[in-house]
Amino acid sequence: MSLPTTHAALATKHGKESIFQPAFAAIGIAVAVAEIDTDQFGTFAGEIERQGSPRDTAERKARAGLDALGLSIGLASEGSFAPHRTTPFLLANTEVVVYVDSDLDYRVFEAVTAVSAVPSAKVVGAVSDIEGLAITKLFPEQRAIVITEDPTTRSRQIFAKAIDTISELEAAVTNALVDQPHPVLVEPDLRAHHCPDRRTVISTAVNRLVQRLQVNCPKCSARGFGPLRTVPGLPCALCGLPTTCASFDVMGCSRCDFESQVARSGNADPTFCDRCNP
């Protein structure tokens, strides 16, 4: 027995089909690439500012993709970087993925946040500073960009992108140093096809989305029924008082307002109890 094939458009120009196609094929969805210029929705290097949240941006890309291919299902992802919530000196990479159904008029989101292993931006004052930059150890899979940034206006000029050899990096840094007075930075190229670390996070988010799409809503039968949030209050194993640990998972539909609660079994570790471990 074979599944009926559904077709979905994926808006990407950075090779994300290698992640989406196998994952969606497993649930009978054939992913076709919509060759739209996703840079119009914002870029990591900063040439084009993003408008709205990463979720909004992902949805706009997905809708542009389905329109371009004349399909009713659209897929897209959007990445962002921010200081880590609990360890601010680390960088967190969040990848949002979305499934848009324009016929049923709803969308299903998933997101994954992970500590980023991508080396941070470094100021270089001379070509000799390139030696010892962590990013060069990750060439050619992880690529680099060379930019200059005006410290007062924060305006950035890009000298080269997709750099994957030390000699290319030296040439770009030499040009940038000669050309003008602002600090020269070597940064990771964060576009998905040049950033293996992001591809791993995107892949985790895509797998979660595929999981969620396999469950249909008990009320309206739309795809994408799954966990929305948790409710705290799991009883302490020692004293039985409610703790901050989750006692219920709230499952919900992405299309209608139907929700159901699933109780978690067991007791909470007393470490999480205000009474036993104040």
The tokens describing 131, both together, are: 């030696």
Give residue for tokens 């990096």: 169
Binding span for Zn ion by CB under 5 A among 55-63, 114-122, 128-136, 239-247? 239-247
Footprint of Zn ion on 191-230 (CB under 5 A): 217, 219-220, 222
Q: How far is the CB of 73 from Zn ion (least distance, A)?
A: 17
Choosing from 256, 267, 269, 272, the residue that interacts with Zn ion (CB under 5 A) is 256
* Residue 258 engages Zn ion in binding (rule: CB under 5 A): yes
* Residue 190 engages Zn ion in binding (rule: CB under 5 A): no
Give residue for tokens 């996070």: 201
Binding span for Zn ion by CB under 5 A among 67-75, 121-129, 143-151, 231-239? 231-239
* Residue 251 engages Zn ion in binding (rule: CB under 5 A): no
Q: How far is the CB of 275 from Zn ion (least distance, A)?
A: 5
Q: How many residues bind Zn ion (CB under 5 A)?
A: 15
* Residue ranges in 49-132 assigned as alpha helix (H): 54-69
Give residue for tokens 């500073």: 129
Buried b (16+ CB within 10 A) or exposed e, 117-136: ebbeebebeeeeebeebebb
The answer to whether 74 touches 109, Cβ cutoff 8 Å, is no
- From CA 7, how far away is CA 269, in angstroms rounded? 46
* Residue 182 engages Zn ion in binding (rule: CB under 5 A): no
Binding span for Zn ion by CB under 5 A among 44-52, 166-174, 247-255, 259-267? 247-255
* Residue 236 engages Zn ion in binding (rule: CB under 5 A): yes
The residues, ordered by sequence, that sit 6+ positions from 62 with a Cβ below 8 Å of its Cβ are 9, 11, 74, 75, 76, 98, 99, 100, 107
Q: Which residues bind Zn ion (CB under 5 A)?
A: 217, 219-220, 222, 236, 238-239, 253, 255-256, 258, 270, 273, 275-276
